[in-house]
Amino acid sequence: MKKQNIILLTLLWCLASCNEDPKVPIEDIFITFNTENNETDFTADGSTVVTLIAELPMNSDKQFRSVIFEADRGSFVENGEDEITKKAEVNVQDQVIAEVDFLLPTTPGDLNIYAQIELEDKRGRFVETLALNLTSSEPYSIKLTANSFSVENNYGNEIEISGVVANSAGNKVSEGVLVELEDTDASNVKLSGEFRDESLKTGSSSQISAKYTPGKITADQYIYVKAYVMHESGSRTSIKDSVRIYVKPN
């Protein structure tokens, strides 16, 4: 289930005169950011959705109520891009609101989100930045699968192995988690099958993959392809999974 966190972006407009019900001059726009409970720390799990809200004063000029949201990375749910423009509308609480959902990425570190009023020929002039701190989404499990649970010996054919690495909440892990594959027989004796087209470091999808053939081994036996999540130091963690494959004669 996607976790939602509300980020409130309050656009404060400095009024240039003391007239009754004045219009806000474009040049005096100033943007400040606040978060619910002042929270700015999140997990880079590629699954958390943050709701961004831009609030404008009721007396703001209606022709200047479009808000441009932009982020260093990650994407807005509505269009899958790192930038979106939303028109502010009056809600039931008589607030002028532009609201958009933002999907956090799988890369940890500082994430900058920007908001500005859409102004012709003045893009980038009135921008405020909110820095979020994304901590690493750590691996907790790996699920290994194969597109077939039988394969021919003597390089007769090959199968596709794929795996998904997840954190403790079942969401994606941060990019760069390394996985090691090996093959063994039913007695846990290491074999010398061939893995190729390996993609064993997680990216934004939190997946790994490889193609496998057992090579020149005896047919009519079960073997195991095993996956181990690795420490950054290069040693194996306790996080692992395996698939059982039947070897057929070629």
247's tokens: 């070897």
Contacts of 226 (CB under 8 A, 6+ apart): 144, 181, 182, 183, 184, 240, 241, 242
**For position 60, what pLDDT does the model report?**
79
The whole-angstrom separation of Cα 31 and Cα 16 is 16
Give the predicted TM-score (pTM) of the model: 0.81
Structure tokens at 8: 């409130």
- All domains in the chain, ordered by first residue: 4-136 (2.60.40.10), 141-248 (2.60.40.1930)
1: pLDDT confidence band, cut at 50, 70 and 90? Answer: low
Residue 212 exposed, middle or buried by CB count within 10 Å (0-12, 13-18, 19+)? buried
* 150: its two tokens: 């039988």
pLDDT digits (tens, 9 = 90+) for 65-75: 899 999 999 99
Burial label, 95 (beta-carbon count in 10 A; 0-12, 13-18, 19+): middle
User: In whole angstroms, what is the distance from residue 210 CA to residue 206 CA?
Assistant: 14
Task: Flag whether pLDDT at 22 surpasses 60.
Answer: no
Cα 122 from Cα 174, distance rounded (Å): 36
**Strand 194-199 and strand 150-152: pairing?**
unpaired
* Residue 62 pLDDT greater than 90, yes or no: no
